[in-house]
């Protein structure tokens, strides 16, 4: 199986034994506490679950700048996006202390991790602007990821962490949330060597379904990992529980048995387009996948990125930056001429009118009115799940 990123084995930061957890929680009683923001809490979940291997914790200023400018950690290892604990709070602790980090997404002031404070550093407004522009390609606050980054604050708290739990993800998505360790173990137990990963923050329509099938066939995959984001999204995106039901419905009806693993991970969407596509590749390499499907406007939002910027960026990073390979996908849609879903680049005799294409706005409008989606666009069983959601709103 493919090795984790920058390591011979996964390096999850979750506390592994109940005894150690109890001891840390006991020592936390005398520690100062800090409630982190949702983005930092999601970073902790990813650190705990092994997805951020080989990181040990939150980055300091020099590393954040290096990652933003050069996509490298201080030790030279490839890394595409900052992993930070930023705040605008007044702090009552100092460098060298250990503090208890409180989860903002769970009631009862639950401690999600213990952080050993290495440095407390201020970022100037110009430094924040530079980081944001390099990572997101824009400073426009109408971009949801940009707005989130700016809102986090200008005080950077770096240091290693010991993660105590996976926030709300295990409780709310017990059937779907999986750590990188669990996914690797499942792949190994199935005897799969060549696995294709599909990233999604949306329900899967027929084009997505066929894209997974095409990719699997073309790289001779043993199986497909459908890996959905379960964390925070922008307003208007379909909630994770609805997506989960829709995807499971599709897989149950239209894929061979034991060919698809449906899993999810606890991260808040960055909407960082090309940079986030690279991060998605790191996640899936750490899961043990050989390929990641990168489609049109992967991890994008609005008109901030070109249709294939997220594919092109893989050609600009060093060849040894990642071991996972990329399956570059074109826009995929149902062909009226051929009566099947195709990649548009494969059918140069087609015009736009030869495809069944619906905008997201049109889909939402039809579903909210109780109108059936064309069977060429969405499987009827999947459309029914989505319609129930929209009719409730």
pLDDT at 115: 98
Between the CA of residue 150 and those of 17, 155, 343, what are the distances in Å? 37, 11, 38
pLDDT at 238: 84
Query: Does the annotation count 345 as an active-site position?
Result: no
Q: Residue 356 domain-assigned?
A: yes
We report the CATH number of the domain holding residue 370 as: 3.40.50.620
Q: Which of 124, 148, 167 is the last residue of a domain?
A: 167
**158 and 180 part of one domain:** no
We report the CATH number of the domain holding residue 98 as: 3.10.400.10
**145 and 242 part of one domain:** no
**114 and 187 part of one domain:** no
CA pseudo-torsion sign 142, 143, 149, 154? negative
Q: Residue 62 domain-assigned?
A: yes
Q: Residue 373 domain-assigned?
A: yes
Q: Domain of residue 379: give its range.
A: 175-265+271-392
Q: Which of 133, 167, 201 is the last residue of a domain?
A: 167
Q: Please tell me the distance from the alpha carbon of residue 240 to that of residue 157, in angstroms, as a whole number.
A: 30
Q: Residue 74 domain-assigned?
A: yes
Q: Please tell me the distance from the alpha carbon of residue 352 to that of residue 159, in angstroms, as a whole number.
A: 52
**180 and 230 part of one domain:** yes
**150 and 222 part of one domain:** no
Token pair for 306 = 């070109």
**283 and 303 part of one domain:** yes
- Tokens 């930070």 locate to 84
Query: What is the number of other CB atoms lying within 10 angstroms of the CB of residue 390?
Result: 17
Closest C-alpha to 44, from 174, 149, 161: 161
Domain total for the chain? 2
**142 and 239 part of one domain:** no
Q: Are strands 155-163 and 111-116 parallel, antiparallel or unpaired?
A: antiparallel
274-287 and 180-190 helices, crossing angle to 10°: 50
**137 and 205 part of one domain:** no
pLDDT at 8: 97
**29 and 161 part of one domain:** yes
pLDDT at 392: 76
Mean pLDDT by 10 residues, the chain (393 residues): 97 96 96 97 98 98 98 98 97 96 96 98 98 98 97 98 97 96 98 97 90 96 97 84 93 95 96 98 98 94 95 96 96 90 90 86 83 88 90 73
**317 and 197 part of one domain:** yes
Query: What is the number of other CB atoms lying within 10 angstroms of the CB of residue 93?
Result: 16
Closest C-alpha to 213, from 264, 262, 277, 259: 259
Q: Is the peptide bond before 54 cis (omega within 30 degrees of 0)?
A: yes
Q: Please tell me the distance from the alpha carbon of residue 34 to that of residue 172, in angstroms, as a whole number.
A: 24
Q: Please tell me the distance from the alpha carbon of residue 5 to that of residue 323, in angstroms, as a whole number.
A: 8
Radius of gyration of the chain (CA): 21
CB 243 within 8 A of CB 208: no
360-368 and 380-392 helices, crossing angle to 10°: 70
Q: Please tell me the distance from the alpha carbon of residue 181 to that of residue 8, in angstroms, as a whole number.
A: 13
Strand partners, 114: 100, 162
Q: Give the distance from CA 172 to its chain's centroid.
A: 17
Query: Does the annotation count 70 as an active-site position?
Result: no
The whole-model pTM stands at: 0.95
The residue annotated as part of the active site, out of 201, 213, 275, 379, is: 201
The residue annotated as part of the active site, out of 116, 160, 194, 202, is: 202
Strand partners, 260: 224
Q: Which of 123, 151, 167 is the last residue of a domain?
A: 167
Q: Residue 4 domain-assigned?
A: no
Between the CA of residue 151 and those of 110, 159, 204, 383, what are the distances in Å? 23, 21, 31, 36
HEC per residue, the chain: CCCCCCCCCCCCCECCCHHHHHHHHHHHCCCEEEECCHHHHHHHHHHHCCCCCCCCEECCHHHHHHHHHHCECCCCCECCCCCCCEECCCCCCCCCCEEEEECCCCCCCCEEEEEECCEEEECCHHHHHHHHHHHHCCCCCCCHHHHHHHHCCCEEEEEEEEECCCCCHHHHCCCCECCHHHHHHHHHHHCCCCEEEEEECCCCCHHHHHHHHHHHHHCCCCEEEEEEECCCCCCCCCCHHHHHHHHHHHHHHHCCCCCEEEEEECCCCCCCCHHHHHHHHHHHHHHCCCEEEECCCCCCCCCCCCCCHHHHHHHCCCCCCCCCEEEECCCEEEECCCCEEEEHHHCCCCCHHHEECCCHHHHHHHHHCCCCCCCCCCCHHHHHHHHHHHHHC
Q: Residue 81 domain-assigned?
A: yes
Query: What is the number of other CB atoms lying within 10 angstroms of the CB of residue 298?
Result: 24
Q: Please tell me the distance from the alpha carbon of residue 52 to that of residue 50, in angstroms, as a whole number.
A: 5
Q: Residue 2 domain-assigned?
A: no
**34 and 57 part of one domain:** yes
């Amino acid at each position: 199986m493919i090795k984790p990123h920058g390591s011979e084995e996964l390096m999850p930061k979750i506390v592994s034994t109940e005894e150690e957890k109890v001891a840390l929680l006991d020592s936390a009683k005398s520690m100062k506490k800090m409630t982190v923001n949702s983005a930092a809490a999601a970073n902790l979940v990813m650190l705990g679950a092994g997805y951020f291997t080989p990181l040990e914790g939150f980055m300091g200023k020099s590393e954040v700048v290096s990652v933003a400018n050069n996509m490298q950690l201080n030790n030279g290892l490839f890394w595409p996006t900052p992993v930070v604990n930023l705040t605008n709070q007044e702090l009552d602790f100092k460098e060298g202390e250990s503090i208890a980090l409180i989860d903002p997404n769970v009631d009862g002031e639950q401690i999600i991790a213990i952080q050993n404070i290495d440095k407390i550093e201020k970022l100037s407004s110009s430094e924040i602007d530079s980081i944001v522009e390099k990572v997101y390609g824009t400073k426009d606050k109408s971009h949801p990821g940009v707005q989130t980054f700016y809102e986090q604050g200008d005080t950077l708290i770096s240091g290693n962490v010991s993660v105590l739990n996976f926030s709300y993800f295990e409780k709310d998505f017990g059937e779907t949330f999986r750590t990188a360790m669990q996914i690797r173990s499942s792949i190994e137990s199935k005897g799969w060597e060549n696995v294709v990963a599909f990233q999604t923050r949306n329900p899967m329509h027929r084009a997505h379904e066929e894209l997974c099938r095409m990719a699997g066939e073309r790289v001779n995959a043993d199986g497909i990992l459908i890996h959905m984001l379960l964390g925070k999204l922008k307003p208007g995106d379909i909630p994770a529980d609805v997506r989960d039901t829709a995807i499971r419905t599709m897989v149950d009806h239209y894929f061979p048995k034991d060919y698809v693993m449906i899993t999810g991970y606890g991260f808040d969407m960055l909407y960082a387009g090309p940079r986030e596509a690279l991060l998605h590749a790191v996640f899936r390499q750490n899961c043990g996948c050989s390929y990641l499907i990168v489609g049109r406007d992967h991890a994008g939002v609005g008109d901030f990125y070109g249709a294939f910027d997220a594919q092109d960026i893989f050609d600009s990073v060093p060849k040894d930056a990642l071991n996972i390979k990329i399956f570059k996908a074109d826009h995929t849609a149902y062909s009226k001429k051929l009566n099947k879903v195709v990649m548009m680049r494969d059918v140069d005799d087609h015009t736009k009118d030869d495809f069944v294409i619906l905008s997201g706005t049109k889909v939402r409008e039809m579903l909210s009115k109780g109108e059936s989606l064309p069977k060429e666009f969405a499987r009827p069983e999947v459309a029914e799940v989505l319609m129930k959601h929209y009719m409730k709103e």
